[in-house]
Amino acid sequence: MLPTILTIAGSDSSGGAGIQGDLKAIAANGGYGASVVTAITAQNSRGVTEIDEVRAGMIRAQIDAVLGDLDVSAVKTGMLASREVIETVAERLVSWGPEWLVCDPVMVSKSGARLLGEDAVDALVSEILPLASLVTPNIDEATVLGGLRARNREEAGEVGRRILGRGARAVLVKGGHLSDDPGTDVLVTAEGTRVFTAPWIDSEHTHGTGCTYSAAIATHLGRGLPLEDAIALSKEFLTEAIRAGGPIGHGVGPTDPFFFLREGSTRQWLARIRRGEATRP
């Protein structure tokens, strides 16, 4: 049976990120995706033009409808938009107590649009981070959450430890903007740090990378993989999705989570995903 993975995030009308990107990544990695929409965005490959937040009562009702019926193996959060949304989501997650919660602390879109109000950052730290099995900030988000802008692996580990100290059980600092090795992510847990590397793909089409990555990790956790294996397999998956990304629209195109279905691509990924097989460093 497919594991059910719940994404709690905003809707991306262009389909590359948010709920739409999450559902594609969940399906591509062997899960069944359910969703709770927290906000509706009007956006395309060039940017975000308008955002409407979903009212708290409707968010609460969606969460209860899904978790009250479906056997959810893991939850991931993306765009939570405001303090009220964060408090609503946190309250229901405390009530339902999912085994795995992956928090992608979405703050700014690829085009630079603010997706999390400044007044909501404190709520994210106090309400969501203590519930999170894993937090997956990029360098900019880690700077806000940890108070240090990492420039290299060592500093990524340090800012990860600072965020860990704010309540999360594990922190994956994504190194796409590290000066010394942009293909490197640093996982920080109470046991120490581990580095995950992959070839750097110099692509303009990276819309939805954070959503794809965190949704894939949540899916593999829900399938029963240990945390480090879930991250390793998801990082390899994301690298190929970025490699296959293309110019959908006239701006920053999306990744392609279904790269392995395209003509001429290798089909080994289907078998590897089914087995949960990550390449060991």
Each residue's pLDDT tens digit, 83-125: 999 999 999 999 999 999 999 999 876 655 667 777 899 999 9
pTM of the prediction? 0.94
Question: For 170-191, what is the mean pLDDT?
Answer: 87
Residue 281 has pLDDT above 50, yes or no: no
Q: What is the pLDDT of residue 280?
A: 45
In 105-257, the DSSP E strands lie at: 134-135, 170-174, 184-189, 192-197
Catalytic site residue from 15, 16, 210, 253: 210
Average pLDDT, the chain: 91
Q: Enumerate the domain spans of the chain.
A: 4-275
Question: For 123-148, what is the mean pLDDT?
Answer: 95
Question: For 23-43, what is the mean pLDDT?
Answer: 97
Q: Which of 4-18, 110-124, 140-154, 160-174 is the least confident region?
A: 110-124
Residue 279 has pLDDT above 70, yes or no: no
Q: For residue 87, which phi and psi values (nearest 5 degrees)?
A: -65, -35
User: Residue 43: CB partners within 8 Å, gap ≥ 6?
Assistant: 12, 13, 14, 49, 109, 111, 113
Confidence of residue 56 (pLDDT cuts 50, 70, 90): very high
Q: What is the pLDDT of residue 157?
A: 94
Catalytic site residue from 24, 110, 174, 235: 174
Catalytic site residue from 7, 77, 88, 209: 209
Residue pair 103/76 in contact (Cβ under 8 Å)? The answer is: yes
From 3.40.1190.20, 3.30.1110.20, 3.10.310.10, 2.40.50.100, which CATH number describes the 4-275 domain? 3.40.1190.20
Burial label for 251, CB within 10 Å (0-12, 13-18, 19+), is middle
Burial label for 177, CB within 10 Å (0-12, 13-18, 19+), is middle
174 included as an active-site residue: yes
Catalytic site residue from 10, 78, 110, 211: 211
Which of 4-8, 43-47, 250-254, 270-274 has the largest mean confidence? 4-8
How far is residue 254's CA from residue 245's CA, in Å, rounded to a whole number?
6
Catalytic site residue from 30, 160, 175, 208: 208
Catalytic site residue from 77, 88, 184, 206: 206
How far is residue 185's CA from residue 89's CA, in Å, rounded to a whole number?
28
Distance, C-alpha 172 to centroid of its chain = 10
Distance, C-alpha 116 to centroid of its chain = 15
208 included as an active-site residue: yes
Question: For 158-166, what is the mean pLDDT?
Answer: 96
Q: Which two tokens stand for residue 192?
A: 């120490």
